[in-house]
């Protein structure tokens, strides 16, 4: 259907051009509705609302206690009503599930517990009907140790796949001793990043779990293999990819030890696994990753043609030390990289600090070369918003604050399933209940990521409407009887209603859809305020109170009057008499359209 509309649009444009030429070229050029639609289709991601689904936990359709693709298809109308443009699925490929899908054994199929390729094709088709794109997770740093490439690689030192992975001799190895690992590099999941393989008598490198051997990106065959994988899924109609752990593709070829991070007294900092904390300087964000992303972008862009209308977007998992490094992830003009590298600079402030938010939001507005920001506060690897920002008393109001920053700032917005109803982090209380190996290794200092991956809470029925199974892969939090989608939909003042209203404003209000961000009242340490403005359209002011005490702010918008039309405010809050007297309750929010 999109293809037919696009072709019709081009035909219409050609017809109008011919008419203009016949009239002597005197008519001013103007865009037709079809041309505007085509441009919007190609730039859909610039103001996109993207929803992350952890498939195991979203909706179980067959009663086995694990979410699946048909369950996601069943809930597409909910996502459409919410205002979602795209869904990012964490990995659904065949996997031994050591890291719940991030250990991939086959990149061109679907894990049976989630369904089949036919189920996936149906999900794509049904999502397309609702103008929702499906984005895949692309894991290129490592595979499962059960992938056929690695099984071949570890079979002998002379196997053609040997140099598809990172192998190295140990220190002091002899015929009877494996010696020591090649250097001090550590797995992000605890202990040495080197695993001894007795059969071929070498160590292989794994940045993550032992069962996730790192690929060797110095091998051109690895590049070619992933270009082929990307094309495979693009041909099936996916709207793009989120590239997992992308900054860890390359390691220092000299295998230099990493530095040990020390505290202010000069003592090594010990992490949750009992290891000294390293600076990751030799295993993260090395220069070689940029050409790889450029290759993948070029592969995706080849599909952005009349046959495949609309941009296939590339999103990067880009945990980076500063805004300058984030800016590099967009790539140079002639060899672009990610359309949307994740801005974790804002999302992981992890405290309600007005100055920090103001500085980071100004950075992403002014220091990424005019590219589109992508804000994200929550995902499957971090405790949910309540644990990182909440105070246990005003959690819902605080989540209104965070969601307003997310959706009322310029650019694309990514959020995590359950955020819209205020799902809580619910970690296991006993080690024997932990499913995430991180928690098993690091208990009790590190309880793992189970707490942010619990099943979606749909209603007050058994298992929160997630599954008909006797038990689910992770237990449903006990608060599901009152905190669920069904209850939220019946409450006009619910967090879910707030999300829907914000997203609708983001899509329909010109200043919020495409306007610049400009900070206001910049000396204020308790309230964050900013202006969204675009030429020819009314500006919008946004104020969010970062404290539990009521605040009154006075805002001045150059060239405008002192009045504003309320677009959205915390339930029960008064309409301001003017921009000079905006009253905000504890963690209150106000969004208003500036009047001339």
Catalytic residues: 244, 317
* Cα dihedral sign, 109-115-116-120: negative
| Residue of 450, 457, 547 whose CA lies nearest to 495 | 457
CB distance 164 to 153 below 8 Å: yes
* Cα dihedral sign, 185-254-181-206: positive
SS3 content of the chain, % helix, strand, coil (to 5): 35, 15, 50
The full DSSP string for 389-425 is H--SSSHHHHHHHHHHHHHHSSSEEEEETTGGGTPPP
- Rounded Cα–Cα distance for residues 134 and 242 (Å): 11
How many other C-beta atoms lie within 10 A of the C-beta of residue 148? 12
- Rounded Cα–Cα distance for residues 398 and 391 (Å): 8
How many other C-beta atoms lie within 10 A of the C-beta of residue 260? 14
> Tokens in use for 170?
């140990």
| Residue of 345, 491, 349 whose CA lies nearest to 420 | 491
- Rounded Cα–Cα distance for residues 541 and 15 (Å): 42
The region, left, alpha or beta by phi > 0 then psi within -120 to 50, assigned to residue 92 is: alpha
The full DSSP string for 218-278 is TSHHHHHHHHHHHHHHHHTT--EEEEETGGGS---TT-PPPPBPB-TTSPBPB-TTSSBPB
- 468 φ/ψ angles, rounded to the nearest 5 degrees: -95, 5
């Amino acid at each position: 259907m999109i293809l037919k509309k696009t072709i019709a649009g081009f035909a219409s444009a050609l017809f109008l051009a011919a008419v203009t030429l016949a009239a002597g070229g005197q008519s001013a050029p103007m865009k037709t509705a079809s041309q505007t639609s085509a441009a919007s289709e190609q730039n859909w991601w610039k103001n996109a609302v993207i929803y992350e689904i952890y498939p195991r936990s979203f909706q179980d359709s067959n009663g086995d206690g694990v979410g699946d693709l048909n369950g996601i298809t069943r809930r597409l109308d909910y996502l459409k009503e919410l205002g979602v443009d795209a869904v990012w699925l964490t990995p659904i490929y065949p996997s031994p599930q050591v890291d719940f899908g991030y250990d991939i054994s086959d990149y061109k199929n679907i894990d049976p517990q989630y369904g089949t390729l036919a189920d996936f094709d149906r999900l794509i088709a049904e999502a397309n009907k609702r103008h929702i794109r499906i984005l895949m997770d692309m894991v290129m740093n490592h595979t499962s140790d059960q992938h056929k490439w690695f099984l071949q690689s570890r079979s002998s030192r002379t196997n053609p796949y040997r140099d598809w992975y990172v192998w190295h001799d140990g220190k002091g190895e002899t015929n009877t001793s494996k010696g020591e690992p090649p250097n001090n590099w550590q797995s992000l999941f605890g202990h040495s990043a080197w695993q001894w393989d007795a059969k071929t008598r070498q160590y292989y490198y794994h940045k993550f779990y032992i069962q996730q051997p790192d690929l060797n990106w110095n091998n051109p065959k690895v590049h070619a293999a992933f270009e082929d994988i990307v094309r495979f899924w693009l041909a099936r109609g996916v709207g793009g990819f989120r590239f997992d752990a992308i900054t860890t593709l390359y390691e220092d070829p000299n295998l230099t030890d990493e530095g040990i991070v020390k505290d202010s007294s000069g003592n090594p900092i010990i992490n949750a696994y009992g290891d000294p904390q390293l600076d990751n300087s030799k295993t993260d964000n090395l220069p070689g990753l940029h050409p790889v992303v450029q290759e993948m972008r070029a592969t995706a862009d080849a599909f952005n043609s009349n046959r495949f209308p609309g941009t296939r977007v590339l999103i990067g998992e880009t945990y980076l030390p500063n805004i300058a490094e984030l800016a590099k992830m967009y790539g140079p003009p002639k060899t672009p990289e990610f359309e949307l590298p994740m801005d974790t600079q804002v999302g992981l402030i992890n405290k309600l600090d007005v100055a920090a938010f103001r500085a980071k939001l100004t950075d992403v507005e002014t220091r990424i070369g005019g590219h589109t920001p992508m804000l994200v506060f929550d995902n499957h690897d971090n405790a949910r918003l309540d644990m990182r920002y909440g105070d246990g008393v005003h959690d819902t109001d605080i989540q209104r604050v965070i969601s307003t920053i997310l959706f009322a700032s310029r650019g694309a917005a990514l959020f995590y399933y359950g955020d819209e109803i205020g799902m809580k982090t619910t970690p296991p209380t006993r080690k024997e209940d932990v499913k995430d190996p991180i928690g098993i290794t690091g208990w009790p200092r590190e309880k793992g990521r189970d707490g942010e991956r619990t099943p979606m809470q749909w209603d007050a029925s058994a298992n929160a409407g997630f599954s008909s199974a006797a038990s689910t892969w992770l237990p449903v939090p006990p608060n599901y009887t009152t905190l669920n989608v069904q209850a939220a939909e019946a409450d006009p003042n619910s967090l879910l209603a707030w999300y829907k209203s914000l997203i609708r404003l983001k899509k329909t209000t010109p200043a919020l859809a495409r306007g610049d961000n400009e900070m206001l009242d910049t000396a204020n340490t308790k309230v964050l305020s900013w202006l969204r403005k675009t030429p020819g359209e009314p500006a919008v002011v946004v104020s969010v109170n970062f404290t539990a005490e009521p605040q009154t702010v006075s805002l001045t918008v150059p060239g405008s009057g002192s009045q504003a039309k309320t677009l959205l405010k915390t339930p029960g809050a008064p309409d301001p008499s003017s921009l000079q007297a905006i009253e905000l309750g504890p963690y209150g929010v106000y969004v208003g359209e500036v009047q001339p």
